[in-house]
Amino acid sequence: MIHGYELGGYLLTSEAIGGDFYELRESGPDRVDILLGDASGKGLPGAQLMILAREALETESTRGGSLGDVVERVNHSLWERSRPGQFVTIFRAALSGLDDRISYLNAGHPRAFLCRPSQVLYLAASGPPLGLLAEATYAVEVLTVEPGDMLVLYTDGVTDAESARQTMFGEAGILDVVRRHAHEPVADLARVICEAARDFELDSPDAGDDKAVVVARRTLQ
């Protein structure tokens, strides 16, 4: 999909349909757009809001503008069209293999990880969830991706997975899986993270939430 990178994702829904979604799309020579989102609510309400959000993202992306401009227009569209209290969190990024840079914004989504051999960088929210406020701004950040770096995105159904002992899977659970499976293909790693969170909550009375993970890794070559 993009020279020098591996990309993959995985989705687990708690019901037949759900509100989590992800997309990996080529948008130019050696360029990929990455999107991970989570619509509030489970089942049919969450799925309907997810469809609304994806339609708005598709429409506004074709109108052009910067990453921040597009998301600001999507936010206003969802504020107009969704019911009060509904919202969508997204992490959206543009990854370029030409200069090994990633431009990203985080709209109320759980902070992502950029895992490096010696440290973990946390990519926190730069604006509120989409649809809550009529007007909102979103700062776009830029990072250089180094050989061996791995970007890990996830929805809160992963970190919020709760065991029967009322402990949370949390960020620590994700990072533990990443450490133990770091050399596996990224699509397998995304699946293993989702399944580890699901297994963590198997004995819990709570049915759990949808879970989605996207992983992008710059190869060492």
Q: Is the pLDDT of residue 152 over 90?
A: yes
pLDDT value of position 93: 95
Cβ contact 23:201 at 8 Å: no
The pLDDT of residue 83 is 87
Whether the predicted pLDDT of 221 surpasses 70: no
- The rounded percent of the chain whose pLDDT value lies above 90 is 74
Q: Structurally, how many domains does the chain consist of?
A: 1
Average pLDDT over residues 35-57: 89
Per-residue pLDDT tens digits for 66-110: 899 999 999 999 999 988 889 999 999 999 999 999 999 999 999
Q: Give the whole-angstrom CA distance, residue 196 versus residue 191.
A: 8
Determine the structural domain holding residue 12 and report its residue range.
5-218
pLDDT at 26 over 70: yes
When mean pLDDT is compared across 5-14, 40-49, 174-183, the lowest value belongs to 40-49
Q: Is the Cβ–Cβ distance between 153 and 112 less than 8 Å?
A: yes
Q: What CATH number should be reported for the domain holding residue 106?
A: 3.60.40.10
Q: How far apart are CA 79 and CA 88, in angstroms?
A: 10
pLDDT for 220 beyond 70: no
